[in-house]
Amino acid sequence: MTTFRAPKGTFDLLPPDSAAFLAVREAMARTVRLAGYQYAETPVFEDTALFKRGVGESTDIVNKEMYTFTSQGGDSLTLRPEGTASVLRAALQANLHKAGQLPVKLYYSGSYFRYEKPQKGRYRHFSQVGAEALGSEDPQVDAELIILAVDAFRGLGLTNVKLLLNSLGDATCRPVYRAALQEFLRGLDLDEATRARIEINPLRVLDDKRPEVRAQLAGAPMIGDYLCEDCKAFHAEVRELLTDAGVAFEDDPNLVRGLDYYTRTTFEFVHDGLGSQSAVGGGGRYDGLSELLGGPALPSVGWALGVDRTVLAMEAEGVLEKETSRVEVFAVPLGEQARRLLFGVVRDLRRLGVSADIVFGTRGVKGAMKAADRSGARYALVAGERDLADNLVQLKDLASGEQIPVALDQIIPTIKEKLS
Ligand code: ATP
Ligand code: MG
């Protein structure tokens, strides 16, 4: 018999680990909801052209990592490799930017797909929580988003997340810098592919991780020296707001990020417990993306946090809580009459918001008690023929082993009181 396995570069989320994963995702979402970000969900696939244009033809994502397929109807579709282009597309399509006050603040949470070389922390199917503020040029929005991400990581108990910060300039100063950088790079000893990249997207060369390239980049012109007055003031304001918020950051002039559409503020969150896949999140301002997608001018900023890597970072710091308890109450009926009675008790407990489960089928006492223990429940409700004849059930505290008889009509109030 053949057995199937999850595709290469993917993994399944199953209990008991799945609970922590879900909790991380929810904690991130909760943090941005506190700031008025509202949930957005877009299709898992989009027109291929959206990502080609919105992520950029010269990026690794578009060139090497997309899952692109032709539908039965002949359309070229791509599994989403990131969230920003889709969310902006959706907001523009629904005219959210015309509906009310700007910025439109949206968050999302879900699966993303990139054809990558699988390694720890780098998967072909992974999970992100993202937040985007569409339609504001206020540096307070950049600061708000960065602070929220920091708060999310802190809220999860992480203490070793480092914030790297840079500004990429805007349409005024970026081209001047770009030309200066190109001139510098053309003078280096680089392979053909990298030379080609100098002409298409020279900033990306700064991101090259190979030591032989890194060594030559030492004297490269820095964007910080080229920022125009507006960009300088903007960046200074973001930095000040972060400092006021008690958020530490490190300037990283080489932080250009993988995507073409970033302007001004760019940032990345890195964790040192993850080996080479150290980025747990990243984002930045993308003032030009809306127009690139055929929309109006809509200066925006956003980030995406990697849920999988955040979970790994929490494991590395020893702050990941494993779920040990499935339910609070576990019923162990001994005999047919008890089965019927406790089935009803469990049903009523659930209706009152108390999590409860019951042993199904007919099992011996030993097996049934083992199931109760394994559920992680705080209390077992045990009832046999003799208890029922006396109108009783036994309520057992599974941690202490202490057992007390409880009258049938007192079961629910007693449990509710003990759990409160
Ligand atoms: P990297 O430099 O590690 O490739 P990236 O710049 O491609 O990251 P982004 O596009 O900024 O990543 O995505 C935001 C976050 O999503 C990353 O910081 C990371 O935590 C997570 N992420 C990106 N790609 C993957 C992947 N293949 N597997 C798991 N998590 C990922
Ligand atoms: Mg990548």
Q: What is the pLDDT of residues 145-160, one digit of tens each?
A: 999 999 999 999 999 9
- Answer whether 51 contacts ligand 1 (Cβ < 6 A): no
Of 111 and 175, the structure prediction assigns the larger pLDDT to 111
Helices (H), 114-172: 139-155
**C-alpha span between 339 and 144 (Å, rounded):** 55
Residue 282 Cβ < 6 Å to ligand 1: yes
Q: How far is CA 321 from CA 114, 121, 355, in A?
A: 29, 19, 20
Q: Is the pLDDT of residue 109 over 70?
A: yes
* pLDDT for residue 392: 95
Give the bridge partners for 141, in sequence order.
none
Cα 35 to averaged position of ligand 1 atoms, centre (Å): 24
Q: Is 87 helix (H, G, I), strand (E, B) or coil?
A: helix
Nearest partner of 114 among 102, 104, 127, judged by Cα: 127
CB of 271 closer than 6 A to ligand 1?
Answer: no
User: Of the residues 10, 82, 128, 164, which should be mutated to test ligand 1's pocket, given the most ligand atoms within 8 Å of the CB?
Assistant: 128
Give the closest ligand to the alpha carbon of residue 114. Answer: 1
Instruction: Give residues with Cβ within 8 angstroms of 321, minimum separation 6.
Output: 20, 23
CA distance 149 to 280: 10
Find out whether 329 and 393 touch, Cβ atoms under 8 Å. Answer: no
Round to whole Å and give the CA distance between 133 and 101.
11
Provide mean pLDDT across the span 203-210: 86
Q: Does residue 223 surpass a pLDDT of 80?
A: yes
Any atom of ligand 1 within 6 Å of the Cβ of 84 = no
Residue 115 clears pLDDT 90, i.e. is over it:
yes
Question: Residues in the chain, how many?
Answer: 420
Average of per-residue pLDDT values in the chain: 94
Q: Which-ligand-closest: CA of 305?
A: 1
Nearest Cα to Cα of residue 158 among 316, 324, 322, 323 = 316
Report which of 84, 77, 76 is spatially closest to residue 290, judged by C-alpha positions. Answer: 84
Instruction: Output the pLDDT for position 57.
Output: 81
State the chain's maximal CA–CA distance in angstroms. Answer: 93
Tell me the per-residue pLDDT of 229-247, one tens digit each, with 9 for 90 and over. Answer: 999 999 999 999 999 999 9
User: Is there an atom of ligand 1 within 6 Å of 126 CB?
Assistant: yes
> Distance of alpha carbon 98 from its chain centroid, rounded?
28
Asked whether residue 124 carries a pLDDT value surpassing 70, the answer given is yes
| Ligand 1 close to Cβ of residue 208 (< 6 A) | no
pLDDT at residue 259 in the model: 63
pLDDT given at position 254? 84
- On the question of pLDDT at 139 being above 80, the answer is yes
Residue 260 pLDDT grade (very low, low, confident, very high; cuts 50, 70, 90): low
Query: Residue 310 pLDDT > 80, yes or no?
Result: yes
Q: Is the pLDDT of residue 1 over 70?
A: no
Count the neighbouring beta carbons within 10 Å of the beta carbon of residue 122.
18
Residue 208 confidence (pLDDT)? 84
- Strands 104-113, 38-39: parallel, antiparallel or unpaired by DSSP? parallel
CB atoms within 10 A of CB 17: 16
Predicted confidence band at 277 (pLDDT cuts at 50, 70, 90)? confident
What are 368-384's pLDDT values in tens digits?
Answer: 889 899 999 999 999 99
Q: Which residue from 282, 336, 301 is spatially nearest to 138, judged by alpha carbons?
A: 301
Q: Which residues are annotated as a binding site for L-histidine?
A: 82-84, 114, 128, 132, 257, 261-262
Ligand nearest to the CA of 275: 1
pLDDT at 58: 77
Between CA 115 and CA 122 the distance in angstroms is: 10
User: Once rounded to an integer, what is the mean pLDDT over residues 9-20?
Assistant: 94
In the sheet where 45-47 sits, what is the strand order? 45-47, 76-79, 67-70
pLDDT at 258: 58
Compute the distance from residue 277 Cα to the ligand 2 centre, in Å: 9
